[in-house]
Structure 1
């Protein structure tokens, strides 16, 4: 699943983790289904009726069972379904249930049959069921779209992690794999989709009674005049319930074919959507066609399905979902304006599609045994889909995927994992409330970063060979962490289990403190937290750290030692400290490095040189480490400002400039209630970025490099951060031209967010209304999201209240997080957001029950606060709330506020002093 909304987003949360003990065993007994019987095959038949007032579905499921122990009861998952009388057949006899017990809290139903089913036998369980279709974005749900002013609906599924049980009674745990034969019954004009291709489609007229008695009985309650389409699909391979999928609606599609190198078969690839947006779906289809053959070749495992579809959904909670053979996701995840696509939009679509295709192997063919190993799915799909395949296999080399990984994933992972309220990558998650919360930067980004570090240490070819060994050994079955590491050990000869165990199973990450002596360097590792070094009781873990030390020889040539490991608390390494050196070459390691101020100054000076031995990735890592150390009190923010000032004099790379912008934005976010610091930081930002704007201008060309395009966009947005009057005036003029003429040709796709925000922030009612109209009738998904952010950036109190009212009355559920993020970025609204959330708490809890969204709303609403009064307010409000669905996000948010308070108290004078000296510097 793709959750950049994540990070996504990707997500947000934490609590202290219990050690694996008796409590874990009892949790398993409480939250896991009994194993007296297991499913092997589902025959699932159901109808879908979408109507203006009441939409519903219903059918029956026949489940083939293996009886493992003598049993007279069968227990499985069901949630919010009306179940008919169950029957079970065994040894040519059919037994009706004698008792049914429903556990709504655990989402289970238990059937008692009054007769013992013998161990070693087989049985067939038949359960009729009915359910309501709602706009929940979970289970089997409704989605709406506008067709020439008319609201239309269709239905689709989202089962991960635990919502297949809301669509049909089943054993809804990843370990309990089975095959599925699905029959969908729908209106004749609908298109029916599922994991496998259709093997037949027929029209059923009740008057003809041409169908089986089961289907005739199922449809007998409808008027005889109704006609139905019956679509039967091929049986799936053995798979988990959370990747079962189907959809029915008036879809259209685009299609291509792809030749697969290993299986030597040619299969169709299709992308489906509603008719109004299908013209924007070609790019996502093209990406799938390019990456699918590469995955098959790299993993040395055949793609097992006869087709691969993608469905673009109008309403979707996460970013996208890897259902086997039927990928689903948001419009913003898969749609692009073919004429005016921005770089960030193209990256998002390509990464999403590649990520989901990677899941066809990681997650679908080979599946984690339980959700505590979610990272085996998500960490690998992130690394493979977004870095190795797109970058190393030259799909989009111009995007610098490996370098971008540092800012896109590594730093977000370290930021979250620096909290005491973080969690290990492999994390205990007994029930659904816990499972939903671990879809976060640790399961995705930290897991991907740790795997990337391992890949670099053992070598990519051997790493991928080990992955192939792992997949082949666990085809269509389930696995745990040690299974993966044994596969890589077999390919490399390295004891990967020992090397990586603490990276996966322990919370946090290390900081390496570097001191110099006559023999070289002495290194010490301690757990790093956002409040500084961990206390002794929090500092027990010793990680095996690949150091990747870069040194310089007498000729000035760089050498990298990838074999060096820090396996103890302290260790000395002999290097020549009279020459430049640095740990963590290319910022691949999942740790930070703390140098003495003198060494840091030398590295920064060397990094700023045109012929520096330090790479783009080194410069990014240097900045991010200093940012984190200044926040944690291990360095002064004045040191960060000094490094920014030095790099800004010579830097040419977009990604380093992006890190600089991020650092300044972070300081403005922290000291937002200190007017003098804010004004000085804005002036500093203007001196850095306005010259870039003047050099690069506002016009984009198809002939320019991707780096130039991205640098221009960044320079303009960062000059706006500095409130440069000329840049503001230019963007206002471009939006004014659009308002007066309806011509948006002066609003490049890469600048639309900056232009919309500027227009609303410095404008009035007319500009606000124009952006609202764009949001409601967007040309592209990215235009809608940009407009939503802009609606939250108005500084007019009346218009702010309109935005809050819009959230409650008109916003789509999937878009609400964009509204909150736009508002949190607005200092005029930052304290209004938590009050709005508190006032409407019950509404939001009901609106997003069971979704990923609620935890993000908690962290976004309160995460920008910075005073002791704010902290007390948040603690008081949540004190009597049931926070079981978001306790991790809440703990992390409260910790963030505490850290920010300490940062402000500790560092305000230092920041003011540096900025004062900078402002009074001699002018050239």
Structure 2
């Protein structure tokens, strides 16, 4: 029998050998929700590429493998073997054969298996919901990236595609779901084995009988209301697909239904959303969005959605936000549920973008799949760009004034630039093999930076030509796998541009540039260097030369804005003719993935122009000016006081997205000095001076006919006024909360003010208010209220209640812990306690999350990334020394670097910020 070392020597330690390849899986899964177990049989048709006496495949250590047989058509034999999981770290099993399978032949591997349903939120797992005080379980799958192997034996790599027949055996009072429509549903009648007390005679005999009964396809009719204890649901055969996209579920689900008509073929496809009975009434908004976006994707890509249906299943426990399983999208409640009576704009936007993002994957990832996880960005970058900007923007009837293009910049571009400014970042396309690292690249680089780089390319090449190139790419690789250069070739064909040369360094190299602008008598000189948050790249780190679309925005002779998108910086440095006596700015429209550094005099001129009513600088440009100012200050390439001056110049701003950028910038500066009492109070006063005067103008009423932008500005202004201590706003919100406490009705609190009202009540209240939030969390009417309650609980100023909040997280749903951590880190009074608690309770935290997907990485980041005192990083580094950090090594390294960067920034800017605030309070001209 082979040992792990034998396999390691013989094969790639992280990739399966290519001696055999699956072409079709016949999966039968029995789910027992009463005992929280599942059993199964996988019958896998194989093509044999090379003579072999070994079959190596993936199987999680949770699976107990039984009854292995291998049939060979060439040998006309059936070999009864055993399978052993011989490489636990890489989850691989081996079947050793006494008779070699000959090359170019066909074979069939049949393996039965048993396992427990756990609450891990990975593989095939169980979740629960409450009904009449009882916890009712149901089961569903989460296989991306490498967790299909925890549910059935398989070749769990994205390039190893096959077709799948799925048959589910379950109790008759439950609903079965999978990627494809059910083609039959029949009772399963059997006699229990009295000798063993089991449900079936034996696992093998059950599945033997089952294959006899439902082995042949029946007419395309689903028989509902099946009588009897158990039933069998058989689903249609899938297209060729990767294992990580296989999905199935079993539980007491209800559904709502709609449909859409394909603009390409005229076919009508059913669309459903499934959920448990307690939440099904909140699923209509997500279904409506899905019905609207599907025909838009078909028109844009000129490729019809290939499956006969598209379902969504909403789960109470879910590790990620959502998952794009082909034909059966899954996701957590906060990503899909919307109460029409208490729907705030924030929740509407989130659900619409998540739904549209996952639908984008039905093309990007499902029809065309990356060859390996180093090309994850081909899936996630495109779904981010298409789902959260381009396609949603086309759906003006959903909401005509969502400002999705500039909002993409403040949400995704800002996140991408922040993480990618660290040495511990990674390229968008990162060489990767180990599953521990695969899990960690589901980050803002694979999503937000990838989407932002594609947005920059779309702006440079023109969106219409860009999308045409995307369509060419998809059509050339339908049902296959692809790599980065395949995409570049499709866009090159559509645009006539050398896309490979233009884009390779943006994808293959770590980081991005800062462009230093020096003014000359004839115009400007522009130089590119790698931008690092500590401001000092080495020669080696500064070796990359990017091809940078400069997007030069300037005023023409008449004073109107002129944008040159053709200018491209391809060298270290270049000179350009430009009339610098008129306003100008690089990265016009703020779509470039880079920073721009001007002289302090030019920054002030741009800020003055930006503050004018008729400025040539759009809201995107004003947002970019603030974002760059913050990053350059952090890197000590510009003064933090210069950023504060820009903020002060923009105090007459009208656009809420620019105000959001102001809040983000001031929030980071304020967080930096969270231990400096005087500076912190003066910064609070500055922030209050910006927002409190606007409260009487915006008021507390949300008219039904007002624009989304006006509503969001009101929410933002009132929130900031409350957070900075405006007594009138605090009193108003406390009064509305008291009405809620007395009446139990939220009628007096507009949905968009629920979060800040709850938070204000707890922050300025005590145990009574905190206990109310706890009760909402434990029995939430909606996900929106639950998230608001979490944020409120975490912002108590009472040391005892902070301690109780941390203790309470030990009993909350595992998926919710990151919400608590994220909120606690933003409470200056709880920040140190959170870090200490994480270290003091690390063994329990690690055990709880060690087999999860991405939770540990976020737990570590949120516990420590807001620390900024000298010595904090050394203390944390010493704590983790000698511990197993393989599951979150990237996150830990990035967090330690950020703490060091912020400690340096704090030291360098302390006197500068202190002096600026003194002058500002005196009313001096800044």
TM, length-normalised to structure 2: 0.94
1:27–1:401: structure 2 CA closer, same or farther, 3 Å change rule?
A: farther
CA distance in 1, matches of 2:703, 2:779: 27
CA displacement 1:22-51 (0-9 Å, x = unmatched): xxx999921000000000000000100012
Pairing of 1:205-216 with structure 2 (within 5 A): 205-207=189-191, 216=205
Residue of structure 2 in register with 1:584 after alignment: 587
- State the SS of the aligned residue for 1:174: coil
2:439 aligns with one of 424, 429, 436: 436
1:333 aligns with one of 308, 332, 335: 335
Query: Is contact 2:11-2:17 (8 Å) kept?
Result: no
Residue of structure 2 in register with 1:145 after alignment: 129
1:688–1:841: structure 2 CA closer, same or farther, 3 Å change rule?
A: same
Pairing of 1:223-372 with structure 2 (within 5 A): 227-372=229-374
Pairing of 1:423-502 with structure 2 (within 5 A): 423-502=426-505
Residue of structure 2 in register with 1:387 after alignment: 389
Query: Is contact 1:100-1:112 (8 Å) kept?
Result: no
CA distance in 1, matches of 2:376, 2:791: 31
Residue of structure 2 in register with 1:204 after alignment: 188
CA distance in 1, matches of 2:473, 2:192: 53
CA distance in 1, matches of 2:241, 2:82: 31
Number of aligned residue pairs:
891
CA distance in 1, matches of 2:826, 2:495: 47
1:101–1:643: structure 2 CA closer, same or farther, 3 Å change rule?
A: closer
Structure 1 residue 212 displacement after superposition: 13
1:503 aligns with one of 486, 489, 506: 506
CA distance in 2, matches of 1:543, 1:904: 31
CA distance in 1, matches of 2:101, 2:84: 17
Query: Is contact 1:78-1:166 (8 Å) kept?
Result: yes
Residue of structure 2 in register with 1:856 after alignment: 858
CA distance in 1, matches of 2:208, 2:45: 24
2:67 paired with 1:85: yes
CA displacement 1:756-803 (0-9 Å, x = unmatched): 111111111111111111111222101101101111111112211211
Residue of structure 1 in register with 2:221 after alignment: none
2:107 paired with 1:123: yes
More off after superposition, 304-313 vs 27-36 = 27-36
- State the SS of the aligned residue for 1:337: coil
CA distance in 2, matches of 1:831, 1:639: 30
Structure 1 residue 473 displacement after superposition: 0.7
- State the SS of the aligned residue for 2:531: strand
- State the SS of the aligned residue for 2:897: helix
CA distance in 2, matches of 1:814, 1:288: 25
Residue of structure 2 in register with 1:97 after alignment: 81
CA distance in 2, matches of 1:115, 1:662: 66
CA displacement 1:845-877 (0-9 Å, x = unmatched): 121123210100000001111112322210110
Which runs of 5 or more residues in structure 1 are unaligned? 1-24
Query: Is contact 1:138-1:163 (8 Å) kept?
Result: yes
More off after superposition, 97-106 vs 730-739 = 97-106
Q: CA RMSD in A?
A: 1.9
Pairing of 1:558-597 with structure 2 (within 5 A): 558-597=561-600
Q: Which runs of 4+ in 1 moved over 6 A?
A: 25-28, 211-215
CA distance in 2, matches of 1:509, 1:233: 48
2:54 aligns with one of 69, 73, 89: 73
Residue of structure 2 in register with 1:837 after alignment: 838
1:62 aligns with one of 27, 40, 43: 43
- State the SS of the aligned residue for 1:310: strand
More off after superposition, 731-740 vs 335-344 = 731-740
CA distance in 1, matches of 2:725, 2:201: 71
Pairing of 1:618-657 with structure 2 (within 5 A): 618-648=621-651, 650-657=652-659
Residue of structure 2 in register with 1:916 after alignment: 918
Residue of structure 1 in register with 2:516 after alignment: 513
CA distance in 1, matches of 2:580, 2:84: 75
CA distance in 1, matches of 2:249, 2:767: 41
CA displacement 1:435-461 (0-9 Å, x = unmatched): 010000000000000000000111111
1:45–1:98: structure 2 CA closer, same or farther, 3 Å change rule?
A: closer
CA displacement 1:504-550 (0-9 Å, x = unmatched): 00000000000111221100000001111422121000000000111
Query: Is contact 2:292-2:395 (8 Å) kept?
Result: no
CA distance in 2, matches of 1:278, 1:623: 42
CA displacement 1:128-178 (0-9 Å, x = unmatched): 011100111000001011112221110000000000000000000000000
Query: Is contact 1:28-1:430 (8 Å) kept?
Result: no
CA distance in 1, matches of 2:9, 2:250: 41
Query: Is contact 1:654-1:711 (8 Å) kept?
Result: yes
CA distance in 2, matches of 1:671, 1:567: 40
Query: Is contact 1:366-1:475 (8 Å) kept?
Result: yes
Structure 1 residue 208 displacement after superposition: 12
1:98–1:728: structure 2 CA closer, same or farther, 3 Å change rule?
A: closer
CA distance in 1, matches of 2:575, 2:83: 70
Residue of structure 2 in register with 1:15 after alignment: none
Query: Is contact 1:205-1:226 (8 Å) kept?
Result: yes
Query: Is contact 1:665-1:721 (8 Å) kept?
Result: no
Asked which structure has the greater RCO (Cα within 8 Å, sep 6+), the reply is 1
- State the SS of the aligned residue for 1:374: helix
CA distance in 2, matches of 1:638, 1:208: 77
Residue of structure 1 in register with 2:97 after alignment: 113
CA distance in 1, matches of 2:10, 2:645: 52
Query: Is contact 1:206-1:216 (8 Å) kept?
Result: no
Residue of structure 2 in register with 1:687 after alignment: 689
CA distance in 2, matches of 1:37, 1:177: 13
Residue of structure 2 in register with 1:168 after alignment: 152
Query: Is contact 1:685-1:721 (8 Å) kept?
Result: no
Query: Is contact 1:65-1:122 (8 Å) kept?
Result: yes
Query: Is contact 1:257-1:289 (8 Å) kept?
Result: yes
CA distance in 2, matches of 1:597, 1:152: 62
Query: Is contact 1:98-1:114 (8 Å) kept?
Result: no
Pairing of 1:744-823 with structure 2 (within 5 A): 744-808=746-810, 810-823=811-824
Query: Is contact 1:174-1:241 (8 Å) kept?
Result: yes
- State the SS of the aligned residue for 1:511: strand
- State the SS of the aligned residue for 1:457: helix
1:708 aligns with one of 707, 710, 733: 710
Which runs of 5 or more residues in structure 2 are unaligned? 1-7, 194-199, 211-226
CA distance in 1, matches of 2:203, 2:135: 34
CA distance in 1, matches of 2:55, 2:43: 14
Structure 1 residue 215 displacement after superposition: 7.3
CA distance in 2, matches of 1:451, 1:822: 31
Residue of structure 2 in register with 1:43 after alignment: 26
CA distance in 2, matches of 1:617, 1:843: 45
Pairing of 1:519-534 with structure 2 (within 5 A): 519-534=522-537
Residue of structure 2 in register with 1:871 after alignment: 873
CA displacement 1:78-124 (0-9 Å, x = unmatched): 00100003111112321122664521111000100111111111111
2:30 paired with 1:32: no
Query: Is contact 2:358-2:383 (8 Å) kept?
Result: yes
CA distance in 2, matches of 1:266, 1:115: 51
1:769–1:169: structure 2 CA closer, same or farther, 3 Å change rule?
A: same
CA distance in 2, matches of 1:577, 1:372: 44
1:410 aligns with one of 410, 413, 416: 413
